[in-house]
Structure 1
Amino acid sequence: MTGKLPYAWSMRIGAHVRQDDDPIGQGERLGADLVQLFLSDPQKWDTPGEHPRKDQILASDIDVVVHSPYVVNVASLNNRLRMPSRKAVAEHADAASKIGAFGLVVHGGHVRDGENVAAGVENWRKLFERQEDKGGFAVPILVENTAGGDFAMARYVDAIGRLWDAIGDYGAGFCLDTCHAWAAGEDLADVVDRVKAVTGRIDLVHLNNSRDEFDSARDRHANLADGTIDPQVLVAIAEAAGAPVVLETPGAGIADDIAYLREHTG
C-alpha cells in the first residue's frame, strides 16, 4: 500500500472540507491538521480524475483522507449496485493514493429487508479477496459504521464483529462515527473499547454530535456543543480512540469545533 501512513500518536484534528477544489487552503483557514474530501460527486458514479491541486496536497503538512461516494454499497446482493460499487472503491483508492491520502472511507452498506445479511458480509469478503489477486488496494480501506437499518453490515458492534471475522485478515481499517453509533443505539460510554475488542483497531474517528435522540436511526450531524450527545463524551471518545479525528459537523461552526476539541483534549 502507498500513501501517507498514520503518524506517531499525537491527536490530529481535522474536518471534512466542502471546498473540494482547494482542500488544503480550506484546511489552513480552519487551522486543521488533516482534511477529508470527496474526489467526485458523492451522489454519482463518476470516475475521479487527477486532482487539480495534487502537487499542493502532496507538498502540504496537512494530512488527507478520502471519503468514497455515498452511492457505494459493497454489501448489496443486486449486481447492478454491487459491481459498480466494487469498481468505484478500487478507482477511488487509486485516486486517493495519488494525493497521498492515508485511507479511503467506505460505508458498511446493507442488504434489503428480508435478504440474508450473511450474504452481504460475504460480498465484503469478496471485495478484498478479489482485489488481493490484483495486488491489493492502493490505500487502506476504512469501513465506517452506519446509523440505521436492521439489515446493515455495520450498524451494531456485534454486526461489525461478524464483518471483521470476514475481512479483518485482509488489512481492513475502521472508521468510528459517533453520530452514527448514537443513532444506532450503541452506548457511547464504552463504544471505543467494544469496537476495538472486535476489530482490534480504530483508524479514524468521525467526531460528530447528533441533532436527534439516542437510537433514532437518523444521521443528522450537529456541532460538538449543540447536539443531543454530551460533548464531554465526544471528547472522551476522541482521546480513547488513539486515532486521527475528522469533524463532519455543520460548516458554520466547524472552526469552533476544532478549537473546542483542542481546548478540551490533552
Structure 2
Amino acid sequence: MSVRQGFTVENGADLDASLSFAADHGFDFVELNMDWTFERQRVDSEAVRETAVEYGVDLLVHLPYRLDPGSPHEHVREGACRELEAAIDAAVAFGAEKGVIHATSHAHPEKWNHEKIREYLYDSVRRLADYGRERDFEVSVENLKTLFFDAGDFPDLFAETDSVACLDTGHAYVTGQDAAAQADLLRTHGDRISHVHLNETRRGDEDEHLPVGIGEFDFETLAEAMDEADWSGTCTHEVYTYDREYVAHGKAAFDRLL
C-alpha cells in the first residue's frame, strides 16, 4: 500500500504559505482549485511550477467545475470540453500530475433521459481522459450528489470508459454509500480509483467538508479496505477552512488508521 496525502488550496489561499505548511507537516502534495483561485488566466503557470519545486511539494489540481460537460446541447458540451482541455494544458504547465473533473450536467433531471445524459457525460470523459493521457496527465472523475452521476455509477463508468476515478467520501456518504459500501468499491475497483477526497461530516444529508475524525463517517473501515486491497493512490484532505491546522489534524487522524 502506498498512500500519498495532500490538501486542497482554494478560496484565495496564498500558494507560498500553503506549500510551506505542506512541507512542514509531511504532506506530499497540494491540490490547487482551478475554478477560481488558480484559474488558468489568473496565474503565472511558470511561477506556480517554480514555487512548488522550491518547497519540494507535488501538485494536483481540481479542474474547473462550474461547466457542463454532460450537456444535451452540443455546443455547450463542446465549450465545456474545450475549457477543460485548456485547463489541463495549464495544469501540465504547473507541473501537476493529475486533475479531478466533475461528471456533471445541468440538464433538467425530470425532463431529460438519464441514460442519454450519461452517454454525453461518458463521451466527454473519454475525450478528456485521452487528452490528458497524451500529455502524461491523469484525469480522474469525481462522484457527485446528482441524479445523473454518483458513486453508485462508478462500475458503469469503469465499464463504459477507461478513465480512473476520484472517490469523494462526503459526496458518496450523502448519496447512500456508507463506509462499508465505499470500502467495497475500493476492494473491487481499487485499480480504477486513483484518488480519494477525504472529508468528514456530522450528518447524513450534507457533506460538511470537515477534517477526518470529527464526524460520523467510519474512516477506519475505508483505511482497512485500502490495506486489504494493497491500494496505491493519492488522498486529498478536502477541508473547507481558513486555518490549516484543521487539515493537519485530519492528516494525523488518518495516519493513525493507515
Would the TM-score normalized by the shorter structure come out above 0.5? yes
Alpha-carbon RMSD: 2.9
Residue 143 (structure 1) aligned with residue 141 (structure 2)? yes
Compared CA separation, residues 39 and 250, structure 1 to 2 (3 A): closer
2:236 is aligned to 246
1:203 is aligned to 194
Q: Which runs of 5+ in 2 are unaligned?
A: none
- Return the structure number with greater helix share: 2
SS at match of 1:109: coil
2:178 is aligned to 187
Separation of aligned partners in 1, 2:2 and 2:187: 19
Given that 2:209 and 2:240 are in contact with CA atoms closer than 8 Å, whether structure 1 keeps it comes out as yes
SS at match of 2:146: coil
1:33 is aligned to 28
Q: 1:84: Cα distance to partner?
A: 2.8
Q: 1:46: Cα distance to partner?
A: 6.2
1:175 is aligned to 166
Residue 255 (structure 1) aligned with residue 245 (structure 2)? no
2:98 pairs with one of 103, 107, 113: 103
1:164 is aligned to 158
Compared CA separation, residues 87 and 228, structure 1 to 2 (3 A): same
SS at match of 2:2: coil
Residue 21 (structure 1) aligned with residue 2 (structure 2)? no
Residue 73 (structure 1) aligned with residue 68 (structure 2)? yes
- What amino acid is aligned across from residue 15 of structure 2 in structure 1? D
SS at match of 1:85: helix
- What amino acid is aligned across from residue 223 of structure 1 in structure 2? P
Q: 1:132: Cα distance to partner?
A: 8.0
Q: 1:127: Cα distance to partner?
A: 2.4
Q: 1:205: Cα distance to partner?
A: 0.9
Q: Which runs of 5+ in 1 are unaligned?
A: 1-8
Q: 1:93: Cα distance to partner?
A: 1.1
Count of aligned pairs: 246
TM-score (norm 1): 0.79
SS at match of 2:123: helix
Separation of aligned partners in 1, 2:190 and 2:109: 26
SS at match of 1:55: helix
Compare 131-140 and 180-189 and name the one that shifted more: 131-140
Separation of aligned partners in 2, 1:106 and 1:77: 18
Given that 2:187 and 2:226 are in contact with CA atoms closer than 8 Å, whether structure 1 keeps it comes out as no
Compare 33-42 and 202-211 and name the one that shifted more: 33-42
Given that 2:100 and 2:141 are in contact with CA atoms closer than 8 Å, whether structure 1 keeps it comes out as yes
2:108 is aligned to 112
- What amino acid is aligned across from residue 239 of structure 2 in structure 1? T
Q: 1:123: Cα distance to partner?
A: 1.9
Separation of aligned partners in 2, 1:12 and 1:236: 16
2:221 is aligned to 233
- What amino acid is aligned across from residue 19 of structure 2 in structure 1? I
SS at match of 2:34: coil
- What amino acid is aligned across from residue 157 of structure 2 in structure 1? L
1:91 is aligned to 86
Q: 1:236: Cα distance to partner?
A: 3.2
Q: 1:17: Cα distance to partner?
A: 2.2
Residues 35-67 of structure 1: CA distance to partner in whole angstroms, max 9, x if unpaired?
11123517x986465333321324553221100
Separation of aligned partners in 1, 2:7 and 2:128: 29
Given that 1:207 and 1:234 are in contact with CA atoms closer than 8 Å, whether structure 2 keeps it comes out as no
TM-score (norm 2): 0.81
SS at match of 1:120: helix
Compared CA separation, residues 82 and 212, structure 1 to 2 (3 A): farther
Given that 1:67 and 1:106 are in contact with CA atoms closer than 8 Å, whether structure 2 keeps it comes out as yes
1:5 is aligned to none
Compared CA separation, residues 193 and 57, structure 1 to 2 (3 A): same
